[in-house]
């Protein structure tokens, strides 16, 4: 058995090899307006009463607290050109949390949730359920509206860098 630090390092390295898409989970309401960059956006089901998805957000992120209070959020799947927005909502720029939404173009969806302009797809959700698993909230949303932009190419993140997908032919 590896010791805990070695196991953690191997887990992080293994997971870094997965290319994931990059989304910003945004929320607004009585719990405040907030947003956080996530790679943990996952489709759960298209065939329940309504489609559903989940995001995992660190319990220390103010966005997680706000989503739980607002009971609604929007999962904004970023387009290839939106690395800057990913960095902004990951706290990788000088901008403080309160000013993040001043740096981007956004609108308001049917549930009152912030929709980032140019996101390749925006999934507006009501909070269905949430589970606190050790460090992270696993937040499940029922999708009530989907907005698709004209740009279907999503920004990816893998091996600790932003990437884009290329189409492989059978012999490549």
Ligand X SMILES: Cc1cc2nc3c(=O)[nH]c(=O)nc-3n(C[C@H](O)[C@H](O)[C@H](O)COP(=O)(O)O)c2cc1C
Contact flag: residue 129 with ligand X (CB under 6 A)? no
Among positions 9-68, residues that touch ligand X (CB under 6 A) are 22, 36-40, 56-58, 61-63
Contact flag: residue 78 with ligand X (CB under 6 A)? no
Nearby residues of 121 by Cβ (< 8 Å), 6 or more positions away: 76, 77, 146, 147, 148, 149, 154
Shortest gap between Cβ of 85 and ligand X (angstroms)?
Answer: 11
Backbone angles phi, psi at 76, to 5 degrees: -100, 105
Nearer to ligand X, 20 or 52 (CB): 20
Q: Give me the residue label for tokens 């058995």.
A: 1
Distance CA 111, CA 65 (A): 18
Choose among 135, 112, 113: nearest CA to 40: 135
Angstrom CA distances, 123 to 10, 26, 120, 133, 134, stand at 33, 10, 10, 24, 26
Q: Indicate the residue whose CB is closest to ligand X.
A: 40
Nearer to ligand X, 19 or 50 (CB): 19
Shortest gap between Cβ of 94 and ligand X (angstroms)?
Answer: 13
Angstrom CA distances, 170 to 18, 163, 167, stand at 21, 21, 10
Nearer to ligand X, 3 or 102 (CB): 102
Contact flag: residue 157 with ligand X (CB under 6 A)? yes
Shortest gap between Cβ of 141 and ligand X (angstroms)?
Answer: 14
How many residues sit in the footprint of ligand X (CB under 6 A)? 18
Among positions 95-124, residues that touch ligand X (CB under 6 A) are 97
> Residue numbers of the site for ligand X (CB under 6 A)?
22, 36-40, 56-58, 61-63, 86, 89-91, 97, 157
């Amino acid at each position: 058995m590896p010791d805990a630090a070695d196991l953690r390092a191997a887990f992080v390295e293994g997971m870094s090899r997965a290319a994931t898409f990059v989304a910003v989970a945004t929320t607004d309401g009585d719990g405040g307006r907030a947003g956080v960059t996530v790679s943990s956006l996952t489709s759960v089901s298209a065939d329940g009463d309504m489609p559903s998805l989940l995001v995992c957000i660190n319990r220390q992120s103010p966005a997680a607290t706000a989503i739980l209070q607002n009971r609604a959020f929007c999962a904004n799947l970023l387009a290839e050109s939106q690395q800057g927005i990913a960095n902004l909502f990951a706290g990788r720029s000088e901008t403080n949390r309160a000013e993040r939404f001043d740096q981007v173009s956004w609108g308001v969806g049917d549930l009152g949730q912030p929709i980032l302009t140019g996101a390749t797809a925006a999934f507006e959700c009501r909070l269905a359920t949430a589970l606190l698993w050790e460090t992270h909230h696993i937040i499940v949303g029922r999708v009530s509206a989907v907005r698709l932009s004209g740009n279907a190419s999503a920004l990816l993140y893998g091996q600790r860098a932003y990437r884009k997908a290329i189409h492989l032919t059978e012999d490549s």
